[in-house]
Structure 1
Amino acid sequence: MDRADVVLVYPQRAPKQGRHWVMPSLGLMYLSASLRHAGYTVRHIDHTFLERDEVLAEIDRLKPSVIGIYCMITMQDEALSLAHQVRGKALTVVGGPYPSGEPETFVDDFDLVAVGEGEETIVSIMEHLEDRAFDKIPGVVFRRDGEVVKSTARQRTKDMTNLPLPYRGDIPNDEYIAYWRRHWKDATTPLMSTRGCPFRCDFCHKSVFGDLFSARPVESVVEEMREIAKLGYDHIWMSDDLFTLNYKRTFELARAIEDAHLPLTWECLSRVTHVDQALFEQMHRAGCKRIFFGIESGDERVLKEMKKGITPDQARAAVEACVAAGIKAAGFFMVGYIGETTDSLIRSINFSSSLPLDYVSYTIAYPLPGTGFYERAQAARGDPEGGDPAPAEPHAHAARGPGIPARDRPGAPRHEVATLSAMSEVWPSLFRISVGLYWLYFASQKWQGIAWMKPVLDAAARVNPIPGLHEVLVSVVVPNWVPFALAQSVAETVTAVLLIVGLATRWAGVLGLLLAANLALTVAFALNDDGFRWMYYLAVIANAQIIVSGPGPIALGRFGWVPAFLR
């Protein structure tokens, strides 16, 4: 493409240290698809893995008429700095959750602020480029002659049948896939099957999709999942605000996904109401691995302050039903909300600890502008005119993803963050390689010959105290010791090689666990040295840990060219 009518920029940057939940922008993918459908040429630049000068060079090369920049509260600095660098080169437009909630904040840095859903808005902007009659376009805010002009609000519709599939052709899919497999195992990308949420939680910021709940046709969602599978992804993050709100539709979608036999797993957000075990079982059959529940507190009084409209008993019932259906359950909690006390905090911690959750995220309650929580926080500070709330970090609940690691906590010294990050990242790989070397040592003892194993097996069979196993060793294993010894040697060699290079790590861990259990239940009893005997017992634990922790970042299985069965 030599020139583009529109350039859309996603200003996210992949951090240099640690592993993070980085994903492409669905919003810009939808805008790109709508513009293409309307006949415009578009280039969607994802800044995640690019340097700023590369982004600016591509914009200069394409000479667009409009530059659209996405912004949410966690990337406002990148969005604003980019806006200053491109201002004057084209009409600049900003959109996304933060500008939609606080458009006046952006009118001096951008030519136009798009508020709410942007698919129709961006096409209308292109249609009015010549006459500049932007005040006729619903859902825009801008400054004209020193005054802030707000057009009429854009009205959302429940009908999503004509919404084109998000255009993923400009996304650096290979780089995202490699990043996710290197850091998280499963290459993950977002998909949104519904928009909006009718509930009025006091802390929630719904500046883009608002209260109107609308759902895409089931066939459209499955078609997009097929496209994602063809791109090479393993896993989908359903980024709906409330995936399970419509029970019947969720059940039908899960059944359609199951019938499609897609090589994908997925996870989603759910409320603790409008669900039951039958729904979770169908979702599990469709490939759902984990459900994130917005529980927020284990204290009923705090939940009422939040206007959550749920109880701890409902939360427990939903989580237990989810786990009973075979799906992992995760929980979001907030601390420090209005009305929080030491007692309520302890109740929340005890409550979350009592639930069968595989992941728990505790974040500091942050009053986002445009929410009831923000207004109450301002009133509590005696600042009715507004202004910034007390300094805090808007993490998991701002982006609504699965939280931020503890090492990213505000105020942590940079050298401490880097050290903790490096250690936590590399440790699984070092542990895996160490266990591989353990098996390599055992295997190498047999490469020059296995005759020495016969007296070992004889002694193990003779002294084994386990009923049944003793008889099997004496009557089956010892008379046929050669094939058993060869099988042990080959299995140890295969396990060692796979673990050392980092291929099929969890399967290698399973094989190692079986080998270690075999040694612990047989040969260990023939040893008089307690130290050597415990070496066999610890091998069982070590290989079990491999299954849990996986390969870590230093592994051949992290490369995209490695076949899926060897990852």
Structure 2
Amino acid sequence: MKKVLLVYPYFYTGAVKDQLFAPIGIGILSAVLKQKGLEVMKLDCTFLTMEEAIKKSREYAPDITGIYIMTTLVKNALELVEKLREVNPSSVYTTGGPLPTLYPVKFAEKFDYVFRGEAANSFPDFCQDYLNASDRIEFVDNMDPSKYPGIFSTKTRPIDSPATHLTKVEIDECPPPDREGFNHEKYQGLCFECSGRKKASIMMTYGCPFSCDFCSKPIFGSEVRFRSLDKIFEEIGDIVSHGYDSLWIADDLFTYDAHFLKNFCTRLIEEDLQLSWSCLSRVDSVTHEMVMMMKKAGCTKVYFGIESGNDYVLKLMNKKIDRTKVREGVEVFRRNGIECAGFFIVGYPGETIDTIEETFEFALSLGLDEISFNVPYPLPGSKLFERVSGICDDDWTFENETRFLYKSEFDETWLKKRILETQETFEGLRLSVIRGMP
């Protein structure tokens, strides 16, 4: 047999979500594996129960099982791998993603192999060589780890091959993500219910050169790499063929490079695909002329990581922006009829009650179409994670809840109350605008 199972261990909780997308990470791996002639099944657990996921895996009986793990999926993934070993004991169990990249030793206790960093080449290469080996035990014993950058294991012998980032050429050599088999009807239905659009996610750039204090980027790193437009539009064509009419561009810094952004918008206008799209953006990365082109190309909404309404706190966060830049950036999009959403963090280490209240007031003053507040999440790998104490790393699975994961000087109950009050005030202001009231 030459079967590979790719698992995305998220189980939908019923929380209201405008942005719930098919996992393109395992889609990319599936596409590369199929290109190599291997049989692959993607096990997207989003709309399954744990029992259904185990049953599907048992029936498929894979030779290799790969489970993607990010912070919020740790609990599910570790429970799943234990149960899958019971039903498929002969499968080789592998993992990858942000958490295994940061803590390979920890995850090597539960998995046979850990793949760190960008594994779009190394994992499929390993699968191909292992499955094609005439003697798989001998292959494992004599394997050259340098052929599979990022591989780590402590099982049969110590294996530790440094992870590497994909080059632009390697990125463009990857086929579009394999979206076959995902439950597109349910993904589209949930999104349409919230937004009136059927959105699919896509990534066009990799890496972020900024070093925000609260951010962790163990997979893509700091070097920004751009996919070719031909590859991007090949993928967009596939997305449209599955019935989607809108894109969520999931890049950290989609608007970072003006030349790339202009070329993308120009081609989207020329091809007249009638797609709407939304993206993340920094407040200081685009001009009025560029925003006009984004609007013409179908951009309907941008999301800003504003984080704070106090310049001192913004410096603590190493955001490299200030209140003035935030106002200017939001206004240029508003003038061009593009909706603006703002993310804010309150209760940051080094803040005071006064700076928190300043953030609430600032958020209400910007004329945003959507605001979201949360407390700091000390993501593993971030500078914030290194500074705070008493971190509870056993439960990152809750959704839509204001809750500290470390010992904070701020009272959760008070913060929840003030966030709710600010949200209610915001909704009142929005309703007044809609009704045309002064």
Provide the rounded CA distance (Å) in 1 between the counterparts of 2:292 and 2:25.
Answer: 31
Aligned equivalents of 1:229, 1:314: Cα separation in 2: 36
Name the % identity. Answer: 32
Q: Is residue 4–residue 62 contact of structure 1 (8 Å, CA) maintained in 2?
A: no
Look up the equivalent residue of 2:164 and give its one-letter code.
R
Which residue of structure 1 lines up, in the alignment, with residue 114 of structure 2? 113
> Given the alignment, which residue of 160, 165, 174 partners 1:155?
165
Distance 1:66 1:57 in 2: 16
2:23 corresponds in structure 1 to 25
Q: Do the aligned partners of 2:75 and 2:397 also contact (CA within 8 Å) in 1?
A: no
Indicate the larger mover: 79-88 or 131-140. 131-140
**Which residue type is aligned with residue 33 of structure 2?**
L
The correspondence for 1:299, drawn from 310, 314, 318, is 310
Q: Which runs of 4+ in 1 moved over 3 A?
A: 16-21, 390-396, 408-412
Matched, 1:251 2:270: no
Match of 1:224 in 2: 235
Supply the distance in 2 between the matched residues of 1:250 and 1:45 (Cα, whole angstroms): 34
Q: Indicate whether 1:15 and 2:16 are aligned.
A: no
**Which amino acid in the other structure matches residue 177 of structure 2?**
P
1:135 matched to 2:133? The reply is no
Kindly state the Cα deviation for residue 295 of structure 1 after the two structures are TM-superposed: 1.2
* 2:44 aligned partner: 46
1:284 pairs with one of 274, 289, 295 = 295
C-alpha distance in 2 between matches for 1:333 and 1:68? 35
Instruction: Find the counterpart in structure 2 of residue 551 from structure 1.
Output: none
User: SS of the residue aligned with 2:153?
Assistant: strand
Deviations 1:439-460 (A, max 9, x none): xxxxxxxxxxxxxxxxxxxxxx
Aligned to 2:391: 389
Q: Flag the 1:328–1:20 CA change in 2: closer, same or farther, 3 A.
A: closer
Equivalent in the alignment of 2:185: 174
- Give the conservation status (yes or no) of the 8 Å contact 1:134–1:140: no
Shift of 1:148: 5.8
SS across alignment from 1:309: coil
CA distance in 2, matches of 1:46, 1:391: 24
Shift of 1:350: 1.6
Cα deviation code 1:336-379 (max 9, x no counterpart): 222111121122112111112111111111111111111122xx
One-letter amino acid of the structure 2 residue matched with residue 43 of structure 1: M
Higher relative contact order, chain-length normalized (CA < 8 Å, sep 6+): 2
Partner of residue 346, structure 2: 335
Question: Which residue number corresponds to residue 62 of structure 1?
Answer: 60
* Displacement after TM superposition at 1:313 (Å): 0.9
SS at structure 2 position matched to 1:332: strand
Cα distance in structure 2, aligned partners of 1:5 and 1:27: 18
Partner residue in 1 for 2:124: 123
Q: In terms of Rg, which structure is larger?
A: 1
Q: Does 1:214 align with 2:222?
A: no
Structure 1 residues 319, 217: closer, same or farther in 2, change over 3 A? same
- 2:254 maps to a residue whose letter is F
Deviations 1:417-460 (A, max 9, x none): xxxxxxxxxxxxxxxxxxxxxxxxxxxxxxxxxxxxxxxxxxxx
CA gap 1:262/1:235 in 2 versus in 1, 3 angstroms = same
Task: Say whether the 8 Å CA contact 1:11–1:46 is kept in structure 2.
Answer: yes
CA contact (8 A) 1:363 1:395 kept: no
How far does the alpha carbon of each residue in 1:268-325 deviate from its partner, in whole angstroms, 9 at most, with x for none? 0111222111111111111111100111111111111111111111111111001111
Alignment of 1:358-397 (within 5 A): 358-377=369-388, 381=389, 389=391
> In the TM superposition, what are the counterparts of 1:364-513 in structure 2 within 5 Å?
364-377=375-388, 381=389, 389=391, 405=400, 408-410=401-403
Superposed displacement of residue 18, structure 1 = 4.3
- Find 1:144's aligned residue among 155, 164, 181: 155
Question: 2:83, 2:308 → 1: CA distance?
Answer: 43
2: CA distance, partners of 1:148 / 1:373:
31
Give per-residue Cα distances to partners, 1:491-545, cap 9 Å, x unaligned. Answer: xxxxxxxxxxxxxxxxxxxxxxxxxxxxxxxxxxxxxxxxxxxxxxxxxx9xx88
What is the deviation of 1:17?
5.4
Letter in 2 for 1:257: L
Over residues 158-216 of structure 1, what are the superposed CA-to-partner deviations in whole Å (9 max), with x where a residue is unaligned?
A: 33321211111121112211222234422221101111101111211101101111111
Name the CA distance, whole Å, in 1 between partners of 2:245 and 2:251.
19
CA contact (8 A) 2:306 2:326 kept: yes
When residues 339 and 104 of structure 1 are mapped into structure 2, their CA distance, relative to the original with a 3 A threshold, is same
Residue 77 of structure 2: aligned partner: 79
Evaluate the alpha carbon distance shift between residue 393 and residue 266 of structure 1 in structure 2; reply closer, same or farther with a 3 A threshold: farther
Closer, same or farther in 2 for the Cα pair 1:350/1:313, shift >3 Å? same
Unaligned 5+ runs, structure 2: 131-135, 405-411, 413-430
In structure 2, distance between residues paired with 1:19 and 1:340:
30
Is the 8 Å Cα contact of residues 116 and 151 (structure 2) preserved in structure 1? yes
Q: Aligned equivalents of 1:237 and 1:17: distance in 2?
A: 19
CA distance in 2, matches of 1:235, 1:167: 18
Aligned-partner SS, 1:360: strand
User: Deviations along 1:114-136, whole A, 9 cap, x unmatched?
Assistant: 11112112112214423122633
1:6 partnered with 2:7 = no
Partner of 1:99: 100
1:392 Cα deviation after fit: 10
In structure 2, do the counterparts of structure 1 residues 392 and 352 end up closer, same or farther at CA, with 3 Å as the change threshold?
farther
Give the 3 Å change call, closer, same or farther, for CA 394–216 of structure 1 in structure 2.
same
Q: What is the aligned partner in structure 1 of residue 427 from structure 2? A: none
Tell me the C-alpha RMSD between the 2 structures.
2.6
User: What TM-score, normalized by structure 2, do the two folds share?
Assistant: 0.84
* 3-state SS of paired residue (2:55): helix
Partner of 1:461: none
Q: Which runs of 5+ in 1 are unaligned?
A: 382-387, 397-403, 413-540, 546-567
Aligned: 1:323 with 2:334: yes
Kept after mapping to 2: 8 A contact 1:292/1:331: yes
Q: Distance in 2 between matches of 1:393 and 1:317?
A: 39
| CA deviation after TM superposition for structure 1 residue 395, in Å | 8.4
Q: CA deviation at 1:47?
A: 0.9
Q: Which amino acid aligns with 1:154?
A: T
Matched-pair contact (CA < 8 Å) for 1:70–1:95: yes
* Structure 1 residues 121 and 245: CA distance shift in structure 2, 3 A: same
Partner Cα separation in structure 2 for residue 66 and residue 356 of structure 1 = 51
Q: In structure 2, give the amino acid aligned to 1:156.
A: L
The question of whether the paired residues in 2 share the 8 Å contact of 1:9 and 1:67 is answered with yes
Q: 1:20 to 1:409 in 2, by over 3 A?
A: farther
- CA distance in 2 between partners of 1:342 and 1:78 (Å): 36
* Count of matched residue pairs: 397
Q: Secondary structure at 2:172's aligned position in 1?
A: coil
CA distance in 2, matches of 1:25, 1:357: 29
Which amino acid in 2 is paired with 1:122?
F
Q: CA deviation at 1:4?
A: 5.6
Q: Secondary structure at the match of 1:9?
A: strand
Q: How far apart are the structure 1 equivalents of 2:290 and 2:397? A: 30
- Structure 1 residues 152 and 78, CA gap change in structure 2 (3 angstroms): same
